Chain A
């Protein structure tokens, strides 16, 4: 019971934030609503027993990536969006594409419905502290190679960002 209430509450916050991102005209408003979405998502992760992921979500996503977005918005002094005539294709192709996508997902879910049973609240490993322990075990043993590669990826991204954003002087 509590599980459901919590889920619905935080779910609604997520959706509201996402809709707000769509509706707002000024990008800073969209950025701040995205922060709200991320925060709510982090809480939902907690509900799903993924403590480590929730923490990382707040630290990295909400705390670093979104801050980066906000900094850039401030740096570029982006104003409210103007209404420009875009492309008709975006509307005529994109709209149906989204609708089809939604329909497909709904269809898939209803097809496989009987295979889904309930999700348990909270952790599913033996003790709360063990989630991080277990993830670390996986990360540094089975997934060591991807881990190292992503670290190289970050390095490349840093260098790329520095080079691209550098002022020509």
Chain B
């Protein structure tokens, strides 16, 4: 399991477009993916969950990936959160 703090650097926060990119990517992996913010954990494969976290630019979240492809999943998804994809 990989579990690390990531700061959202994506210009628009994790709003609809980056959020949909995130979910589309997350769905490609077998691993369980979650995002936690202020103690609330949601599935990284659910756009509604992610939106309700209201991640603005600069907010800190914990990205967790767990499964066979957890390493690749973590790398790809971290980039989206940091606006580097």
- Asked whether A and B interact, the reply is no
Q: Using a CB–CB distance below 8 Å, which chain B residues touch chain A?
A: none
Q: Using a CB–CB distance below 8 Å, which chain A residues touch chain B?
A: none
